[in-house]
Amino acid sequence: VAHWLLPRENVLWSYVVDDEAHPGRITDFFSFFSLPSQALKPGQAKKPAAKNKRPAGGSQKKPGSDTLNAAYAYYYATNAGNDVKLTAEEKDGCDGAKKEKALLREKQNEAVKTRLVALFGDALVLAKNSGFDVFNCLDMMDNAMFVNELKFGRGDGFLRYYFYNYMARDTASAKIGFVML
């Protein structure tokens, strides 16, 4: 697990959030990785790309630079929503266990959304301060909870993944989990 989650210089950035009320208790985790892209000029396709070192802070993108330093959202987790409970009045206002469960889920989702907006707001700042030009994330899992509020732009294409010898029905992107190893 350490290989996939612990920070590696110029490769992987990982952060934890410590609970202020209970020091040493981690409440949240988020990470992003670097995947720089180099624009090729005509006739350069066969030349190897130069190694690119990122400065400690600020964007490296200079006028005329061919490299776009992109950060990609990697793993994240939060315990927001775990402590959400319905009040007695909210329980009384529900007509049955099914509606009570739906209301609880709605309140939990709102707590998770609020926390993810804050976490990824921090991730954007940390990535910018680490010299990234752009921050990307896929349109899957709970990412839909924060991408609009944080003003992520929709990409200009579609990413397609092929799972070898695996058949599945079409599924909404919010219901897909993708583990990158």
116 is catalytic: no
Interatomic CA distance for residues 53 and 130, integer angstroms: 11
Helix residue spans in the chain (DSSP H): 2-5, 88-93, 97-129
The residue from 86, 138, 150, 181 that is catalytic is 181
Find the radius of gyration of the CA atoms of the chain. Answer: 20
Residue 18 near residue 24 (C-beta atoms within 8 A):
yes
Interatomic CA distance for residues 2 and 63, integer angstroms: 38
- Tokens representing residue 31 in the block: 């990470």
Interatomic CA distance for residues 119 and 16, integer angstroms: 10
Q: Which residues are catalytic?
A: 181
